[in-house]
Amino acid sequence: MEEKKALPGTGGERYIPYARREGNESIVYFTRDLSAQGLCKIYRRVNGNLNGKVGVKLHTGEKNGPNIIPRPWVEALFANELREAAIIETNSYYVGDRDTTEKHRETLRANGWTFAPVDILDENGAEPLPVYGGKWFSQMYMGKNLTAYDSFLALTHFKGHTKAGFGGSNKNIGIGCADGRIGKAMIHTTPGQDDQWDISYEEFMERMTESAKAVVDHFGRRIAYVNVMRNMSVSCDCEGTAAEPVVTPNVGICASVDILAADQACVDILYAMKKAENHALVERIESRHGLRQLSYMKELGMGNDRYKLIDIDNGDALISPADAAKNLTPFQA
């Protein structure tokens, strides 16, 4: 996939240390318990405003993809906390196992996503949601069924990404809710271009973030974010079995009701790791100018890049990203 030349001096390749940030602080919860029990425990800290019909957006993966959030963990979350919820997905923009509803449903069956309803949001077409304050869009086309839900949980496998640098809640929502034909094309492709993937770097981050903002604004307070820092390949889950080998240690789970704080905390924990631990993901993020996701979320008023990190394993102690990154076990496949 050929990349366009980077725009100079626009900041997406430069990490901003916490001491240089300004503004209010949000709450981010953290657990090192990478298990079904840990996932359920941290979810309960952010679910207070989720009611009615809940849609859970997660990446269900290509066939036999190795790095997605383990299906048994999600099954336990649904059985214990989200009995009436549905998994929500959209068809892919690229040709593969999920670019049509028929192929997507077969992939869902192959990967074992059969314990809860799965709503392919764009199965019946697309519907625009307004984008307030954007510079690229005034509306973004989402899977039509999205508006049938009262509340939204972004259940995200935090990892690298070929185009976005990293995939957190912002990417999970911004790409993952846009319908597979209109919305995803608006984010990835300049009209009239033969190259399906010609938009890159800051412009791509901004387009994707404006798409996510449409969903965040639509649900208002009825949305929460859970980021699972496990099996963090530099590749997205959309690459399935072709994903690059994982070399970054597993960390834990971050959760918040602030999308920017949730993604920022994961990035900060990553940057707090030893160079031998984080070099692959940091290189992927900076080479794609992926940090523009964070600064643009802040510019759009989507949340705070300052936060209090609460260790729910240790009496809700206030910790730093460096504390969360201490004594990590080297990744073993």
Q: Provide mean pLDDT across the span 235-260.
A: 86
What is the per-residue pLDDT across 10-27, written as a single tens digit (0 to 9) for each? 589 999 999 999 999 999
pLDDT computed for residue 65 by the predictor: 80
- Distance CA(93)–CA(100), nearest Å, equals 9
**244 against 135, higher pLDDT:** 135
Residue 163, classed as helix, strand or coil, is coil
Residue 298 has pLDDT above 60, yes or no: yes
Share of the chain above pLDDT 90, in %: 90
Using alpha carbons, select from 71, 62, 69 the residue that is nearest to residue 94.
62
Q: Provide mean pLDDT across the span 103-122.
A: 97
Residue 76, classed as helix, strand or coil, is helix
Q: Provide mean pLDDT across the span 133-160.
A: 98
Residue 287 has pLDDT above 90, yes or no: yes
pLDDT computed for residue 2 by the predictor: 33
Residue 250 has pLDDT above 60, yes or no: yes
| Phi, psi dihedral angles at 213 (to 5 degrees) | -60, -35
pTM of the full structure: 0.95
Domains and CATH numbers, the chain: 24-324 (3.40.50)
pLDDT computed for residue 245 by the predictor: 87
Whole-number Cα distances in Å, 259 to 3, 63, 213, 249, 251:
27, 29, 10, 23, 19
Band of residue 64 on the pLDDT scale cut at 50, 70, 90: confident
pLDDT computed for residue 1 by the predictor: 31
Q: Provide mean pLDDT across the span 259-272.
A: 98
